[in-house]
């Protein structure tokens, strides 16, 4: 475990991307204290102020204001809460569900594997967009639906990878050894195999978080995520899209942050995969 | 003294992949018009490297450090790419080792057999087609029209090698390089293909460098032979003479080892370790 | 030859079964889960008597199975009901909007194939030079940006900083009104109406880029890998000996063997691209079925959602079928089995 951590931290990608996400996490947790203004406070006198460095700014509004005079920076900071909650909860639950089923299928084989694998095949045959339209239509809008939709659609990613990884691990000598000693099957699965599959799951989890952030942004962009009085990046982007000629920064600021966040999750996942890959590790 | 048809003099090459390890050490050989020279040695001896050097297709990780290859008075190693590519495939051609991968799986036999004729000899589609038919008949393919329309995967390994032989002789080259042309084939087909190559070589009067690790094959089709070990020429001369009165202990041991010395278990008598040790000592390698 | 026919028939049958599966899922999710299915059929403003009459007409007092049968028959006859929010026949709406999405998706696909193919071929030509990592990095960056972000980035750049393209819609009202079909682009290309072609294309450029760039990057990556693999085969060596230039080696020898796997992947990715039209159409206010799907979900317009999901499903299944047949056509082994 400690060795893995050390390997991960020696990968520059991991440090850089992980550092960015950590900063974002801090911003999200301490948003009420860190945000310079109230993200909901409207002041039409201060509407569409440009960011600092442009003409006609007002001190204290670093990234300018939207058409209702709300501080863009403060809204970004508060918006990171929804983004990260969805990222962590949705990706975490998808990983949990997919990993459990993948472990079972890969370890117990037989009919368990047949049932789970068939299920994954059928699931993946259904295009994600159709599934999300149907799910949001049935579940209604709101952050819970967003999370549920992501979990229901994306658990298969984890399941497939964990299943094949488990099968590979099951061939290893250390598993055979544990079996000859007579450890119970379930115990071998969780104390021997799972730790060795974990690095793959962690890398995949990071990628999935990036996907979740995008999905949440899309759904709040179209108004199907949290209610409109909670600041979200997607909601800000939608607003910026509407007033693009008056205040481009209302669109560009959350878009850049969204892009950086997704990039960071991708790079983190990529770096972790590299650093933790047992084949590459000494 | 007249210039020979083909001569390699003092050719040396090193591997940039393995920190400049020598691949060829001062290799010299010569070939007269219409002569077949066997190039024999165990795997890794440098046979294919010589063949590739002749064809100008050395991998970029192999670096020539000295020597010359003279073909009809031109030094192939110093020719400009344009001149070289005019010679290659036209004056010098290749019969490759593995008929599985040497034919493009996505193209019909006809287009593969004729595009040299059309590009290099400016033949019309019809003329190239007729010539291709003749060539296939020459290599004893029974239903040439059908084979021309076929894709490679529809042909057996022996058939494919026949097609490749036809392609190698298509432009009437003066020199054909054959790099272990039968190793990838069934034993039953090997003999036929060998006889075919020898026949083609005779009727066309082509010079040939024939790479093999089988002294039995050498006895069958080579006029002269050059023996290599670790990139160095160990022994060379007319086939009959080398086989009857080998000078070097290594050659003797090979002859004793039987037809397939490269497979010690299949041979009659493995090459004694002492001979390898002696060879290495002579060449100053551990 | 009969073998390939058999496998084609097999695939078509499989596609039909899949479509039936989609129908079942739609029925279960939209008819059984929300409760009152009659809401999907009535035109708004019906009286309770009319509703009761309808309930009897549709056999909704019967079992679920008989209800499904009745529903399926209606669907097969093209009776998708009436949109609640738009108060119009769903089939008509789909017929109006689907052509817009098809034109957009196909344009994006063509763009992606051309760009991706070009990047792959250039990448193969410059392999092992300093240009290769440069090209790979550019390609990787394009790939890392999702279509949603591409669309908005394009809007920012070409909407604000270099305002050259229209930001929304499909065609300017000044050129609209007199099309015979809903395939505006195809129609104006066929009738050579230059002003319409220019106007429609300028509306399509940004959505096409947003949808096509990531796909182009994927195609480039896979095709280049396949090309590089082909380029070390012996048959390339022999062709090189025949004096073929590097470009010819790629185009005449390697490409045909690399294209099969790339087609298969492009097919799968094309279905994702069509999924992407939903959000990209929204961003550019492009009047296709994707944009309509979002409104349908926001308004919980169940009849419209049902129609849209079935159309999307049929589209995906058809694409997969087409790809299977194309892959077979590109593989001589399958063609002459
Ligand atoms: N592409 C290459 N780059 C560098 N060295 C190579 C390459 N291919 C072969 N070699 C080296 O050249 C030596 C001779 O190989 P080769 O000519 O293929 O032998 P043979 O054909 O006699 O079996 C071997 O030691 C091998 O390691
Ligand atoms: Mg060799």
Domains in chain A, ordered, with CATH? Answer: 2-276 (1.10.3720.10)
Asked if residue A249 has pLDDT above 70, the reply is yes
Residue A272: pLDDT band with limits 50, 70, 90: confident
Q: Do C149 and A138 touch (CB under 8 A)?
A: no
Residue C17: pLDDT band with limits 50, 70, 90: confident
The whole-number pLDDT of residue A100 equals: 96
User: How many other CB atoms are found less than 10 A from the CB of residue C322?
Assistant: 14
Query: Mean pLDDT throughout A126-154?
Result: 87
CB A166 within 8 A of CB A102: yes
Nearest residue in A to C35, CA atom? A138
How far apart (Å, rounded) are the C-alpha atoms in residues B31 and C254?
35
Residue C44: pLDDT band with limits 50, 70, 90: low
Asked if residue A141 has pLDDT above 60, the reply is yes
The whole-number pLDDT of residue A282 equals: 35
**C239 chain-B contacts, CB cut-off 8 A:** 104, 115
Mean residue pLDDT across chain A: 87
**A64 chain-C contacts, CB cut-off 8 A:** none
Per the rule left: phi > 0, alpha: psi between -120 and 50, beta: everything else, A60 is left
Check pocket membership of B22 for ligand 1, CB cut-off 6 A. Answer: no
> What tokens appear for A264 in the block?
């960071």
The whole-number pLDDT of residue B264 equals: 42
Buried b (16+ CB within 10 A) or exposed e, A112-142: ebeebbeebeeeeebbbbbbbbbbbbbbebe
Dihedral angle sign, alpha carbons of residues C315, C317, C320, C325: negative
Nearest residue in C to A247, CA atom? C160
Half-sphere exposure of A178 (CA within 13 A, CB side): 18
Question: Is the minimum CB–CB distance between A126 and chain C shorter than 8 Å?
Answer: yes
Q: Do A248 and C160 touch (CB under 8 A)?
A: yes
Question: pLDDT digit of tens for each residue in chain B (286 aa)?
Answer: 578 899 999 999 999 988 889 999 999 999 999 999 999 998 999 999 999 999 998 998 999 999 999 999 899 999 998 899 889 989 999 999 999 899 999 999 999 999 899 989 999 999 999 999 999 999 999 999 999 999 999 999 999 999 999 999 999 999 999 999 998 888 889 999 999 999 999 999 999 999 998 888 999 999 999 999 999 999 999 999 999 999 888 888 888 776 544 444 444 566 777 777 777 777 766 5
Asked if residue C326 has pLDDT above 50, the reply is yes
Listed range (A79-93, B62-76, C168-182, C204-218) with the worst mean pLDDT = C168-182
Asked if residue C54 has pLDDT above 80, the reply is no
Furthest C-alpha separation in chain B: 61
The whole-number pLDDT of residue A58 equals: 73
Q: Position of tokens 């670096």?
A: B63
The whole-number pLDDT of residue C336 equals: 54
- Chain CA centroid to CA C31, Å: 27
The whole-number pLDDT of residue A281 equals: 43
The whole-number pLDDT of residue B64 equals: 95
Bigger pLDDT: B134 vs A273: B134
Nearest residue in C to A207, CA atom? C144
Does the predicted interface ipTM exceed a cut of 0.85?
A: yes
Query: Mean pLDDT throughout A126-133?
Result: 81
How far apart (Å, rounded) are the C-alpha atoms in residues C240 and C255?
15
**C298 chain-A contacts, CB cut-off 8 A:** 141, 222-224
Query: What separation in angstroms does the CA of C50 have from each of B38, C35, C41, C46?
Result: 97, 19, 11, 6
Domain layout of chain B by residue ranges? 92-172
Residue C16: pLDDT band with limits 50, 70, 90: confident
C 39-68 near A (Cβ less than 8 A):
none
Q: Do A221 and C26 touch (CB under 8 A)?
A: no
Q: Which residues contact C41 (CB under 8 A, 6 or more apart)?
A: C54, C58, C81, C82, C303
Query: Mean pLDDT throughout C170-188?
Result: 86
Asked if residue A234 has pLDDT above 90, the reply is yes
* Most ligand 1 atoms within 8 A of CB, residue of B40, B41, B49 to mutate: B49
Nearest residue in C to B102, CA atom? C235
Predicted TM-score (pTM) of the model is 0.87
Q: What are A52's strand-pairing partners?
A: A54
Residue A49: pLDDT band with limits 50, 70, 90: confident
Ligand number nearest CA of B59 is 1
User: Cα angle vertex B51, ends B48, B53, to 5°?
Assistant: 110
* Most ligand 1 atoms within 8 A of CB, residue of B12, B21, B23 to mutate: B23
The whole-number pLDDT of residue A155 equals: 95
Number of Cβ pairs < 8 A linking chain A and chain C: 100
Q: Which residues contact B4 (CB under 8 A, 6 or more apart)?
A: B30, B31, B32, B70
Check pocket membership of B19 for ligand 1, CB cut-off 6 A. Answer: no
CB B181 within 8 A of CB B193: yes
Residue nearest to atom 27 of ligand 1 (CA): B44
Q: What are C82's strand-pairing partners?
A: C89
The shares of helix, strand and coil residues in chain A, as percent rounded to the nearest 5, are 75, 0, 25
Residue C32: pLDDT band with limits 50, 70, 90: low
Question: Is the minimum CB–CB distance between C243 and chain B shorter than 8 Å?
Answer: yes
Q: Which residues contact C301 (CB under 8 A, 6 or more apart)?
A: C83, C84, C85, C86, C295
Question: Is the minimum CB–CB distance between B61 and chain C shorter than 8 Å?
Answer: no
User: How many other CB atoms are found less than 10 A from the CB of residue A259?
Assistant: 18
The whole-number pLDDT of residue C37 equals: 56
- The alpha helices in A140-248, defined as continuous H runs, are 143-170, 173-181, 185-187, 194-221, 233-242
Mean residue pLDDT across chain C: 87
Question: Is the minimum CB–CB distance between B191 and chain C shorter than 8 Å?
Answer: no
User: How many other CB atoms are found less than 10 A from the CB of residue A62?
Assistant: 17
The whole-number pLDDT of residue C34 equals: 61
Bigger pLDDT: C8 vs B265: C8
Question: Is the minimum CB–CB distance between C1 and chain B shorter than 8 Å?
Answer: no
**C257 chain-B contacts, CB cut-off 8 A:** 104-106
Determine the atom of ligand 1 nearest the C-alpha atom of B228: 22
A 190-219 near C (Cβ less than 8 A):
214, 217-218
The whole-number pLDDT of residue C43 equals: 64
**A217 chain-C contacts, CB cut-off 8 A:** 148
Dihedral angle sign, alpha carbons of residues B230, B233, B235, B240: positive
Per the rule left: phi > 0, alpha: psi between -120 and 50, beta: everything else, C47 is beta
Q: Position of tokens 């069509």?
A: C274
User: Cα angle vertex A53, ends A47, A58, to 5°?
Assistant: 35
How far apart (Å, rounded) are the C-alpha atoms in residues C194 and C188?
7
Ligand number nearest CA of B53 is 1
């Amino acid at each position: 475990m400690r060795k893995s951590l050390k390997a991960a931290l020696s990968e520059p990608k991991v440090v850089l991307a992980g550092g960015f996400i950590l900063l974002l996490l801090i911003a999200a947790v301490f948003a009420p204290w860190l945000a310079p203004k109230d993200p909901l406070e409207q002041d039409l006198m201060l509407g569409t102020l440009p960011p600092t460095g442009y003409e006609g700014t007002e001190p204290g509004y670093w990234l300018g204001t939207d058409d209702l005079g709300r501080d863009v920076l403060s809204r970004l900071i508060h918006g990171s809460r929804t983004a990260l909650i969805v990222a962590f909860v949705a990706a975490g639950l998808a990983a949990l569900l997919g990993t459990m089923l993948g472990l079972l299928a890969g370890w117990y084989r037989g009919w368990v594997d047949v049932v789970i694998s068939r299920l994954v095949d059928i699931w993946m045959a259904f295009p994600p967009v159709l599934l999300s339209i149907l799910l949001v239509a049935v579940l209604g809008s709101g952050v819970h639906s967003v999370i549920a939709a992501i979990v229901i659609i994306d658990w298969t990613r984890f399941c497939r990878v964990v299943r094949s990884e488990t099968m590979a691990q099951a061939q290893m000598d250390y598993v055979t050894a544990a079996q000859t000693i007579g450890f119970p099957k379930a115990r071998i699965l969780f104390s021997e195999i799972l730790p060795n599959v974990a690095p793959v799951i962690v890398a995949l989890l990071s990628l999935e978080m990036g996907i979740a952030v995008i999905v949440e942004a899309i759904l709040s962009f179209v108004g199907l995520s949290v209610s409109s009085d909670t600041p979200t990046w997607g909601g800000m982007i939608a607003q910026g899209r509407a007033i693009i000629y008056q205040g481009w920064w209302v669109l560009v600021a959350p878009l850049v942050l969204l892009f950086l966040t997704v990039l960071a999750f991708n790079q983190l996942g990529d770096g972790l995969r590299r650093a933790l890959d047992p084949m590459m590790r000494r | 003294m007249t210039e020979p048809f083909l001569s390699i003099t003092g050719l040396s090459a090193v591997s940039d992949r393995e920190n400049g390890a020598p691949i060829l050490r001062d290799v010299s050989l010569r070939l007269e018009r219409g002569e077949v020279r066997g190039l024999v040695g165990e795997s890794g001896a440098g046979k294919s490297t010589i063949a590739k050097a002749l064809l100008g297709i050395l991998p970029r990780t192999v670096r020539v450090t000295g020597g010359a290859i003279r073909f009809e008075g031109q030094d192939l190693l110093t020719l400009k790419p344009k001149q070289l590519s005019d010679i290659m495939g036209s004056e010098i051609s290749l019969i490759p080792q593995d008929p599985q991968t040497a034919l493009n799986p996505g193209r019909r036999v006809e287009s593969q057999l004729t595009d040299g004729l059309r590009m290099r000899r400016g033949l019309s589609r019809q003329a190239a087609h007729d010539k291709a038919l003749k060539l296939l008949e020459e290599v004893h393919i029974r239903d040439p029209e059908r084979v021309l329309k076929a894709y490679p995967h529809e042909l057996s390994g022996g058939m494919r090698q026949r097609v490749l032989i036809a392609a190698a002789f298509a432009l009437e080259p003066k020199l054909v390089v054959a790099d272990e042309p039968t190793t990838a084939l069934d034993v039953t087909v090997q003999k036929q293909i060998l006889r075919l190559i020898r026949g083609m070589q005779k009727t066309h009067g082509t010079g040939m460098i024939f790479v093999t690790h089988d002294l039995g094959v050498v006895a069958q089709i080579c006029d002269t032979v050059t023996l290599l070990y670790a990139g160095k020429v160990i022994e060379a001369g007319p086939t009959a003479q080398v086989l009857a009165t080998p000078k070097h202990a290594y050659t003797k041991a090979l002859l004793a080892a039987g037809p397939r010395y490269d497979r010690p278990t299949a041979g009659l008598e493995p090459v004694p370790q002492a001979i390898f040790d002696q060879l290495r000592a002579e060449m100053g390698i551990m | 030859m009969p073998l390939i026919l058999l496998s084609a028939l097999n695939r078509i049958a499989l596609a039909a079964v899949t479509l039936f599966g989609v129908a079942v899922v739609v029925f279960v999710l939209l008819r059984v889960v929300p409760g009152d299915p009659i809401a999907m059929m009535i035109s708004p403003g019906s009286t309770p008597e009319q509703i009761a009459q309808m309930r009897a007409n549709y056999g909704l007092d019967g079992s679920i199975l008989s209800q499904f049968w009745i529903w399926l028959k209606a669907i097969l006859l093209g009776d998708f009901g009436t949109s609640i929010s738009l108060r119009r026949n769903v089939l008509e709406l789909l017929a109006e909007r689907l052509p817009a999405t098809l034109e957009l998706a196909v344009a994006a696909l063509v763009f992606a194939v051309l760009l991706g193919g070009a990047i792959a071929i250039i990448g193969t030509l410059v392999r092992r030079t300093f240009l290769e990592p440069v090209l790979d990095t550019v390609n990787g960056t394009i790939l890392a940006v999702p279509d949603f972000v591409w669309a908005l980035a394009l809007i920012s750049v070409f909407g604000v900083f270099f305002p050259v393209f229209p930001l929304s819609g499909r065609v300017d009202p000044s050129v609209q009104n007199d099309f015979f079909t809903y395939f505006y682009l195809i129609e104006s290309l066929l009738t050579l109406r230059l002003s319409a072609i220019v106007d429609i294309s300028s509306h399509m450029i940004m959505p096409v880029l947003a949808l096509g760039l990531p796909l182009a990057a994927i195609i480039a990556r896979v095709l280049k890998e396949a090309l590089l693999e082909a380029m070390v085969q012996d048959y390339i060596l022999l062709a090189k000996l025949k004096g073929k230039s590097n470009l010819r080696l790629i185009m005449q020898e390697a490409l045909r063997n690399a294209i099969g796997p790339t087609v298969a992947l492009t097919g799968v990715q094309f279905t994702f691209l069509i999924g992407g039209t939903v959000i990209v159409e929204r961003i550019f206010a492009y009047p296709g079925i994707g944009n309509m799907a979002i409104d349908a979900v926001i308004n919980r317009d169940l009849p419209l959602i049902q129609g849209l999901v079935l159309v999307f499903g049929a589209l995906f299944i058809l694409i997969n079928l087409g790809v299977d047949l194309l892959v077979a056509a590109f593989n001589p082994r399958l063609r002459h089995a």
